[in-house]
Amino acid sequence: MARVADVHFHPQATAEFDAAIDWYFERSPQAAEDFVYEVDRAIARIAENPSRWTEYLYGARKYLLQHFPYVIVYLVQGDQLQIVAVAHGRRRPGYWRERVKGR
């Protein structure tokens, strides 16, 4: 699979990302900054080679963050990368499945 051209966040994935940033920021502005950096880096790596990471549930793929307990769940549609969830690792798998139905 080739590099994707456009990256889009599902609105609920954006809300999850923002909530995680807020949570980390309350504890440490540096941790929040590190979290944002790692998510940005993850998305860039996914965009470079989206088929590299593990197939997950409901046709989506996942990328595990290295330093934070989060998973980036995504779909690839042509040259579009859809970030479906920025999911905490302790949440139940597939809670975001309604986001991929009807794609």
Q: 7-17 burial string, b = 16+ CB within 10 Å, else e?
A: eebbeebeebb
Give the whole-angstrom CA distance, residue 27 versus residue 8. 28
* pLDDT band per the 50, 70, 90 thresholds, residue 1: low
The residue assigned the tokens 């609105």 is: 11
Q: Is 32:25 a contact under the CB 8 Å cutoff?
A: yes
34-88 per-position pLDDT tens digit: 999 999 999 999 999 999 998 988 889 999 999 999 999 999 988 889 999 999 9
Structural domain boundaries in the chain? 6-91
Q: Which ranges constitute the DSSP H helices of 6-60?
A: 11-27, 29-48
Q: Is 86:53 a contact under the CB 8 Å cutoff?
A: no
- pTM of the prediction? 0.90
Please give the DSSP secondary-structure letter assigned to residue 62. E
The CATH number of the domain covering residues in 6-91: 3.30.2310.20
What mean pLDDT is predicted for residues 22-41?
Answer: 98
Predicted local distance difference test score (pLDDT) of residue 83: 96
Residue 52 to residues 27, 47, 85, Cα–Cα distance (Å): 33, 10, 18
